[in-house]
């Protein structure tokens, strides 16, 4: 962040450099003074009168004396980036009636006293990011009546005085992320009636007082991610009528009280990713019909209740990946008519209902990778007219006749390259083959004895004909049959009266397997299926080609 800011200032300012008197160790531009000389011993006394902004970068002086800028009453912005500042006189920024923006970032400040900033009544933005502040005195913000943005990210605050924010009735943004806050006083935020954004990400909060957000009727975005929250009090969000985005990812929430989101009628984005949820209460989202993005990934969900997403007609992205979901009710996505992205990867799904994605006519991306799926039911994508990206890899696909629908859908609707890592897990003779690279005729099923109603007679007694001369018993041939030797190294698939595909594995595998075929040799195998058996003879005639 800081080198970037440095470059940005440098390049902006170089463009507008006039020839005017300027303090030693600084560069002066029309309105900005930019001081980055390590040798600078203190705040320079002679800041040009027209300057409104002064920026110190990596300077090494440690002290700002009382009213150090008093000769420059026109300053509106004072910034210290990565400097060695440690000491401040009382009223250090006194005499700056127009000061709007004060920033001290990356300066290892560990303590502040209330008299330093006591007169900053026009300050709108106050930034103390990435110091080492461990505590703040209660009166620190006294008289900062105009403050709209307060940034305290990246310090070591463990707690805050209950009344510290009392004067900040106009505050819109409060950033307390990356501190060590473990507990919040219940009334801490109560004066902040104008607050729109509150960041409490990456602290050590293990719980929240029930009423802590009770007066934040203007809050639009709340960050609670990266804490240790395991329980949410049922009413903790009950006054956040304007909340649009709620970030609860990376906590240890085990279960959610059913009414937890019921006041959040304006909520559009909710992340619960990376918690330890084992289930979702029915009706959890019944009062948040405007949700657009919802993430529940990286939890421990084993299923989701049938009606839990009912009415979420604006939902565009739903992430359920990295759970333990083994079953999805047929109608669970039924109302999601605007869903575009659906992530179901890295779960424990073994089968999907044929109507699961019905009516998801806007769906464009579907991830099913890393599940236990062996096939997908016929017609499952028939109403998904915009679907073009389906991730299928890392499932134990059974490449037989039941996969024919998915296979032909892939060929018609999607870029086959998307699934080049999608392999057959079975049957044995197709194991490891890339699914989209198969030929349709390879997707055959053994005909079961039940379907035929009789055991077809064997063909062992037939005269072995030419290499490919295969005769299959007439009635059995009406259906597809896959014949195989016991080792699975020679496989023959037939349907109708024709055999469409032969696989012979000649390279010997360890132990069992076929020996190689010698030149000018012939070998026969007896193959069985539930339709009966056949004998396949393969002859190799090797001839010397021309010189």
Ligand X SMILES: *[C@@H]1O[C@H](CO)[C@@H](O)[C@H](O)[C@H]1NC(C)=O
**Chain contacts with ligand X (rule: CB under 6 A):** 49, 73-74, 86-88, 90-91, 94, 109, 111-113, 115, 118-119, 241-242, 265-266, 289-290, 314, 324, 326, 334, 348, 355, 358-359, 519-520, 542-544
Nearer Cβ to ligand X (87/451):
87
Q: How far is the CB of 388 from ligand X (least distance, A)?
A: 21
Give the closest residue to 349 by CA, choosing from 304, 416, 316, 283. Answer: 304
Cα gap 203→181, rounded to integer Å:
5
**Beta-carbon neighbour count of residue 266 at 10 Å?**
14
In degrees and rounded to multiples of 5, residue 14 shows phi and psi of -60, -30
Q: How far is the CB of 424 from ligand X (least distance, A)?
A: 21
Nearer Cβ to ligand X (49/432):
49
Measured CA distances, 105 to 55, 64, 130, 393 (Å): 11, 15, 6, 47
Nearer Cβ to ligand X (8/542):
542
Q: How far is the CB of 143 from ligand X (least distance, A)?
A: 9
Strand, coil or helix: what is 545? coil
Nearer Cβ to ligand X (363/443):
363
258 close to 284: Cβ distance less than 8 angstroms: yes
In degrees and rounded to multiples of 5, residue 419 shows phi and psi of -120, 35
Nearer Cβ to ligand X (261/429):
261
Q: How far is the CB of 112 from ligand X (least distance, A)?
A: 5
Q: How far is the CB of 289 from ligand X (least distance, A)?
A: 4
- Tokens standing for residue 364: 């464009």
Unique residue bearing structure tokens 């007066």: 215
Q: How far is the CB of 26 from ligand X (least distance, A)?
A: 16
122 close to 145: Cβ distance less than 8 angstroms: no
Q: How far is the CB of 77 from ligand X (least distance, A)?
A: 14
Q: How far is the CB of 481 from ligand X (least distance, A)?
A: 32
Cα gap 541→522, rounded to integer Å:
9
Nearer Cβ to ligand X (117/407):
117
Nearer Cβ to ligand X (115/400):
115
Nearer Cβ to ligand X (341/359):
359
Secondary structure, 3-state, 436-496 = HHCCHHHCCCCCCHHHHCCCCCCCCCCCCCCCCCCCCCCCHHHCCEEEECCCCCEEEEEEC
Shortest Cβ contact with ligand X: which residue?
265
Segment holding 425, helix H or strand E: strand 424-426
192 close to 186: Cβ distance less than 8 angstroms: no
């Amino acid at each position: 962040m800081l080198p970037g800011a440095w470059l940005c200032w440098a390049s902006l300012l170089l463009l507008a450099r006039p020839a005017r008197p300027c303090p030693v160790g600084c560069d002066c531009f029309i309105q900005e003074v930019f001081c980055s000389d390590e040798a600078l011993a203190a705040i320079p006394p002679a800041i040009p009168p027209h300057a409104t902004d002064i920026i110190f970068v990596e300077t090494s002086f440690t002290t700002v004396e009382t009213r150090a800028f008093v000769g420059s009453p026109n300053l509106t912005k004072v910034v210290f980036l990565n400097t060695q500042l440690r000491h401040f006189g009382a009223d250090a920024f006194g005499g700056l009636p127009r000061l709007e923006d004060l920033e001290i970032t990356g300066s290892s400040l560990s303590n502040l006293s209330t008299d330093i900033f006591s007169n900053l009544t026009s300050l709108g933005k106050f930034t103390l990011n990435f110091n080492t502040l461990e505590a703040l005195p209660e009166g620190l913000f006294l008289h900062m009546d105009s403050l709209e943005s307060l940034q305290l990210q990246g310090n070591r605050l463990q707690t805050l005085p209950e009344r510290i924010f009392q004067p900040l009735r106009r505050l819109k943004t409060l950033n307390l992320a990356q501190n060590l806050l473990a507990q919040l006083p219940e009334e801490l935020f109560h004066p902040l009636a104008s607050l729109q954004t509150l960041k409490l990400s990456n602290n050590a909060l293990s719980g929240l007082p029930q009423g802590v957000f009770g007066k934040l009727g203007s809050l639009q975005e709340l960050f609670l991610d990266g804490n240790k929250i395991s329980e949410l009090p049922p009413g903790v969000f009950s006054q956040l009528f304007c909340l649009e985005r709620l970030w609860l990812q990376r906590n240890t929430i085990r279960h959610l009280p059913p009414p937890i989101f019921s006041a959040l009628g304006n909520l559009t984005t909710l992340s619960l990713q990376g918690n330890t949820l084992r289930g979702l209460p029915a009706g959890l989202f019944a009062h948040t019909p405007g949700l657009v993005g919802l993430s529940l990934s990286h939890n421990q969900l084993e299923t989701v209740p049938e009606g839990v997403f009912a009415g979420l007609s604006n939902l565009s992205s739903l992430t359920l990946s990295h759970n333990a979901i083994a079953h999805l009710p047929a109608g669970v996505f039924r109302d999601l008519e605007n869903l575009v992205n659906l992530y179901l990867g890295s779960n424990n799904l073994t089968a999907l209902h044929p109507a699961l994605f019905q009516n998801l006519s806007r769906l464009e991306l579907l991830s099913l990778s890393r599940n236990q799926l062996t096939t997908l039911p016929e017609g499952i994508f028939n109403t998904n007219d915009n679907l073009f990206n389906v991730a299928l890899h890392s499932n134990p696909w059974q490449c037989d006749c039941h996969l024919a629908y998915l296979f032909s859908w892939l060929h018609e609707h999607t870029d086959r390259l998307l699934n080049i890592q999608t392999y057959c897990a079975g049957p044995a003779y197709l194991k490891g083959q890339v699914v989209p690279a198969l030929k349709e005729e390879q997707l055959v099923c053994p005909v079961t004895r039940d379907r035929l109603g009789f055991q077809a007679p064997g063909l062992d007694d037939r005269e072995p004909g030419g290499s490919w001369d295969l005769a299959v018993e007439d009635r059995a041939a009406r259906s597809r049959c896959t014949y195989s030797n016991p080792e699975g190294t020679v496989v023959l698939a037939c349907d109708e009266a024709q055999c469409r595909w032969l696989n012979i594995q000649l390279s010997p595998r360890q132990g069992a397997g076929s020996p190689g075929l010698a030149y000018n040799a012939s070998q026969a195998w007896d193959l069985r299926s539930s339709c009966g058996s056949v004998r396949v003879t393969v002859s190799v005639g090797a001839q010397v080609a021309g010189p």
